[in-house]
Structure 1
Amino acid sequence: MKKISLILAIIFLGQFLQSCYDDFDEMNVSPNNAEEVSPNYLLSYVISKTSMQFYGLMNEHTDIAGTLQYTQRGTEFNAANQNCYQWGKGSWNAYYDILRTSQLMYELGEKENNQFFMAASLIMKSFTFGLMADLFGDCPYSEALQASTSVLFPKFDAQKDVYEGVLTDLKTASGLLEGLDPKLSVLPSSDLLYAGDRDKWIKFANSLRLRYCLRLHNKKEELSINTVNEFKDAATKVFGSNADNATLVLLGLSDENSAVGGPVRSSNKPYAFKPGKPLVDYLKERNDPRLQRWVNPVERKWDFNASEETTVNYTDIFGDTYQMTIFPTDDTSLDTSVYVGLPIGYDNLEFLGNYNRGDGIRDYPDERSAYISYLTPIYFENSNDFVNPSLITYAEVEFILAEAALLGDYGVSSVEDHYKNGIRASMDQYKILSEAQGFDFDVFYSQPTVSYSSSSITNKHELIMTQKWIALWLQAESWFDWRRTGYPDFEPAANPAFGPALPLRLAYPEPFADPQYVEKYEEAVSKLEKTGFVPSNQSNDHSYSKTWLLQGTGKPY
């Protein structure tokens, strides 16, 4: 039903909403009148567009994925963009397009006295406004979405105020939902996340509250909201399994609902995107089967013990078989592993094209190096359950609770239980526990490099955040976590654009020429704090400047 509804939403709203954005007053509510629109359609639109916008921000092809060392761009002329942090200006037009529709949904819900649509609007708006504050810092918030009242150039609200507004609206939404019948007044097929399940929407709202309470941990003394009490209140009503995940099912039918690596959106398979070496090595060292869900074995493998070239069939832990050619070598500089990632932060095309090739023949196109792993076939399909975009997951919630228990301020006990649950939830999300042949989770967890109780691990905070980084594979939340904590302790790019450090934010969109907007933009930029990696002759509006959230915290550097 989710898929049917999304098709209807795309066909109908793609034609209707675009022509109506400039005059929302012409949209009414009755589904019985051909000239009026039900908020059910708006709900489908907001969920699908929000999820796809978030997916577009953080998939295997994005700059942020490269920064987090999930993937690297190899053998391609613009490798520096992703690998070396040569980021340009950000954009928020798509976010405000979604927010306008969400605001309309709230207004129609209010007119119909349907509190579900009001609550859903608050939750989805909070997700988007919170994300914009995460990415940019100060942004239009309190005066946004008011063009109909002639507010054409809204002020940039302080990042702090946006976050407080997000937490307030999420709490309000949870309260509205709790007062409703469990069977919501919504077409189940229009709710692309939860098919009208009230309790799951409540968990969604409160799980986001946990995310933002912890986001603000280092600045909680500067807030007018008590985030410790907010966290405690929300923690009783959060995700309890992967069935609660806020995940959109991709259809694979058009650009708007297909995975980025499939033939609908990629005319040629994007082999240039390789898994990052730190990620691959971390998973290999721990015999973590998630590696085999995400990463292919190499097509040509070096072997110190081989005496002659041999072609074999390699079968992974899921029973998938790949043809692999074994080559003998005594060159100790080569990676002889079955899974080989690309080193971080290079834009030298000769290096990228020849990495791990040794004296082997180069009979392949630049992007098709047989000596480096590709991503698995699931990332070359138009749709696959393992690449559906999630706004927040149960695994993330468990790691939030683990960190909160470690920090000690939030009324959560048993760090290890939540930490272990987070790893298990991640593996269950990728069907490791049910499909990995011969895999024993308890044996895996008992490894000294994995177990929370291991005496060899002295920095428990780093352990939690590093395993969370793995669990949040291809999710932007890992970047926000790294900024707040400094973990994982990423090695900067080999050839970074602005010095040996990772970026901290997106630069604002190019400012409008209108003096009213420029004045507000410059005020927001003046509050950013340059780090030593921002060239002296460049604006504060730079990817290496600190927003309020990081100022004075000493994090991540």
Structure 2
Amino acid sequence: MNKNIFKTLLVGTALTFGACTSNFMDINKEPSTVYKEQMEADDYITRVPLIALQGLIIPNDVNMSQFIECLLGGSMGGYLADSNQGFKQKYSTYNPEEHWIQVPFNDLIPKVFQNFNKLQISDNEVQKAVGAVNKVAVMAKVTDIYGPIPYSKIGEDGKQTAPYDSEKDIYTQMFVELDEAIEVLSNHREDKFSPLADKVYGGNVEKWAKYANSLKLRLAMRIVNADEALSKKKAEEAVNSEVGVFKTNDDNAFFTTQKNPFRVVMYEYNGGDSRISADLTSVMNGYNDPRREAYFTTSTFDLKDGNVTANGFFGLRNGVLIPKGEYRKYSNMKVETSDKLMWMNAAEVTFLRAEGALRGWNMQGTPESLYNEAIALSFDQHGVSGADKYIKNALSQPEVYKDPQGDFSYTGAPSKITIKWDGKVGFEENLERIITQKWIANFPLGLEAWAEYRRTGYPKLMEAVDNKSAGTVNSKRMARRLMYPQSEYTENTQNVTEAVSQFLNGPDNMGTDLWWAKKN
């Protein structure tokens, strides 16, 4: 009996020991610790910060999108006009409230760097390259809003209490970062990564490489008046690279969102805080543009006063202090809750190539052929027919704006530019033609429209009715930038002061030009 008991104990001990040793690594790990190899499964380690970065390029957050894309970009770019009578200090009248000014600076910068830095724990060079492209896409917008900003010296915590970089240095570094990312993405162009980490292309690396090149082309053209040699070099590199740039609408970059923020701002906030701008409807009405029905709703005025003959596509004049009236009856943006957010389309990229070709650069096409191709791409994107007829229209011009309520009509048309390409005219007229059509095709990317207006002077927009800038903003040239938030002067005093004196080349107000905005 004793021998049998002893044998039983030995067997039990052996079994117990075997069980312990088989789970030794699990037992000796802290249960609460998430290990790197576990986090890398299904791209978990990268998908959270990658999705967060993607959600900042056109902010997925409704509050950020309202202040950055609608009230700032929409107004300054000639796409949207404020329809809330309670807005008395705003971007469009050049006297924005302090809490408006700080949103792009204090919300975007720390979120970009905090999430970008989280990606660095991963060994996956493809996702880190995608993150770098996302970072550049957001930060290019921020520097184009303010000018010099903290960039190269921001720490791991993402706090922007750091020295500023000049715009020239920021653009130089962004090109380096894009080039490094493009090399990685091009080398892995046949690869895929988890669609859970990608709300744009579902993990398609080649499409990310094309987006990176297309972004590089956009930024290269931005600096053409400040550094033409670098602009040409980077533009030609992007277009003629192994992967290339957007050429079809299958390449277009759209972010999948659960609730489109434009829908909320245009319809749900106080009955809609913005409406379509009279600038855009006047140009498209004059051209009898078939894309209007894809872009806008018709106005809904009571027509008893006979001011207009029928409800149609009537935008609201920008830069007005709205009196009492039916200012939400102007045309609105056609957008549904489930609609994706556009970052960039093939039409814009092809218009950029048309401009490069107009300058004599190698853009794989002539200015005219690329211009016509870009218009056709925009029509196709929106499922609209009639591009061939539209391209041949040599007579139509932007219409003179007549306000349905009679308060803010405009005497004369800002521009007389026609649609059809004219190879017999000078550079400037065809540049206006390209930029005006690119502006139409890029709706509703207001910040991009504002940047191109400051760079080229096109499209020609109606002056703000109420300029409340106390003389700091020239009504004919319009706002050139945003001033820095007051929080920078209290929390980053020395660095912001040095940036204004060394880099800004003017006072910290809305009338000072950015480095690349050399053209008057």
Per the shorter chain, which TM-score range?
Answer: 0.7 to 0.9
> What code does the residue aligned with 1:523 have?
E
1:545 to 504, 507, 512: 512
1:138 aligns with 2:138: no
State the alpha-carbon separation in 2 of the partners of residues 478 and 138 from structure 1: 20
- Deviation (angstroms), 1:169: 0.7
Q: Name the structure 1 match of 2:420.
A: 451
| Contact 1:260–1:266 (CA under 8 A) maintained in structure 2 | no
State the alpha-carbon separation in 2 of the partners of residues 416 and 541 from structure 1: 41
Sequence identity of aligned pairs in percent? 23
State the alpha-carbon separation in 2 of the partners of residues 75 and 146 from structure 1: 40
> What code does the residue aligned with 2:279 have?
P
Q: Name the structure 2 match of 1:41.
A: 48
1:214 to 217, 221, 233: 221
Gaps of 5+ in 2: 1-32, 395-417
State the alpha-carbon separation in 2 of the partners of residues 154 and 496 from structure 1: 34
State the alpha-carbon separation in 1 of the partners of residues 68 and 488 from structure 2: 29
1:340 aligns with 2:295: no
| Contact 2:489–2:497 (CA under 8 A) maintained in structure 1 | no
State the alpha-carbon separation in 1 of the partners of residues 266 and 301 from structure 2: 29
Gaps of 5+ in 1: 1-25, 253-257, 303-326, 354-365, 434-439, 531-539
Change (3 A) 1:214 1:153: same
Change (3 A) 1:29 1:127: farther
2:458 to 487, 491, 503: 487
State the alpha-carbon separation in 1 of the partners of residues 68 and 47 from structure 2: 28
| Contact 1:27–1:37 (CA under 8 A) maintained in structure 2 | no
State the alpha-carbon separation in 1 of the partners of residues 297 and 490 from structure 2: 51
Q: Name the structure 2 match of 1:104.
A: 117
State the alpha-carbon separation in 2 of the partners of residues 392 and 66 from structure 1: 19
Higher alpha-carbon deviation: 397-406 or 287-296: 287-296
- Deviation (angstroms), 1:27: 7.9
- Deviation (angstroms), 1:118: 2.0
Q: Name the structure 2 match of 1:478.
A: 449
Change (3 A) 1:456 1:120: closer
1:227 to 228, 231, 235: 231
Change (3 A) 1:510 1:266: same
Q: Structure 2 matches for 1:98-497, cutoff 5 A?
A: 98-109=111-122, 112=123, 114-147=124-157, 153-180=161-188, 182-184=190-192, 186-220=193-227, 226-236=230-240, 237-252=244-259, 258-262=260-264, 266=268, 268-270=270-272, 273-300=274-301, 302=303, 327=304, 329=306, 334=308, 338-350=312-324, 353=325, 366-369=326-329, 373-376=330-333, 378-379=334-335, 381-384=336-339, 388-433=340-385, 440-448=386-394, 449-453=418-422, 459-475=429-445, 476-497=447-468
Q: Deviations along 1:455-478, whole A, 9 cap, x unmatched?
A: 799811111111111111121211
1:81 to 90, 99, 113: 90
| Contact 2:379–2:387 (CA under 8 A) maintained in structure 1 | no
State the alpha-carbon separation in 2 of the partners of residues 96 and 60 from structure 1: 16
Change (3 A) 1:75 1:41: closer
| Contact 2:66–2:262 (CA under 8 A) maintained in structure 1 | no
Change (3 A) 1:105 1:156: same
User: Which protein has the larger Cα radius of gyration, Structure 1 or Structure 2?
Assistant: 2
Give the RMSD, CA atoms, in angstroms.
3.1
Q: Deviations along 1:341-398, whole A, 9 cap, x unmatched?
A: 2233321414xx2xxxxxxxxxxxx4444xxx3315x33x4222xxx32222211101
Q: Name the structure 2 match of 1:521.
A: 496
**TM-score when scaled to structure 1?**
0.73
Whichever structure has more helix as a proportion of its residues is 2
Change (3 A) 1:406 1:269: same
| Contact 1:138–1:158 (CA under 8 A) maintained in structure 2 | yes
| Contact 2:275–2:328 (CA under 8 A) maintained in structure 1 | no
| Contact 1:278–1:341 (CA under 8 A) maintained in structure 2 | yes
- Deviation (angstroms), 1:31: 3.1
Change (3 A) 1:547 1:450: closer
State the alpha-carbon separation in 2 of the partners of residues 147 and 506 from structure 1: 25
> What code does the residue aligned with 1:90 have?
Q
